[in-house]
Amino acid sequence: GDSVTQMEGPVTLSEEAFLTINCTYTATGYPSLFWYVQYPGEGLQLLLKATKADDKGSNKGFEATYRKETTSFHLEKGSVQVSDSAVYFCALTRRVDSSYKLIFGSGTRLLVRP
């Protein structure tokens, strides 16, 4: 079945460091891909999305490119801030009849130190 695999955390970085969080997926067809972020004690916030191969999603300095050939959707940011500390979830949508459901990775905790 469809699945999403993320790199294990926690990822600990110093402020202004470069961030990469790896995400690969297994799916039939061409799913849409998402990154969601969860801050402590909160729900999920949509960070970015890409709906077809070679699309690049971007938001708040974060970017991810839909790579069909490597079935990957790695999250990157050039310079992280302490406020980026959170758990990041990679997800894909699985179409079921006339609707969709999200399949999530296990999440990667990011800790940014001042």
Give me the least distance between CB of 93 and another protein, in Å please: 5
Per the DSSP assignment, residues forming a β-bridge with 49 are 34
Residues 52-91 as x/- pattern, contact with another protein by CB under 8 A:
-------------------------------------x--
Q: What angle do CA 21, 63, 40 make, to 5 degrees?
A: 60
Tell me if 3 sits within 8 A of 101, measured CB to CB: no
Residue type, 81: Q
CB nearer to another protein: give 18 or 100.
Answer: 100
Query: Should residue 26 be labelled a site residue for another protein when binding is judged by CB under 8 A?
Result: no
Tokens of 31: 């799913």
Tell me if 109 sits within 8 A of 11, measured CB to CB: yes
The single residue among 17, 27, 102, 111 that binds another protein, judged by CB under 8 A, is 102
Sites of contact with another protein (CB under 8 A) = 32, 34, 36, 42-46, 49, 51, 89, 93, 95-107
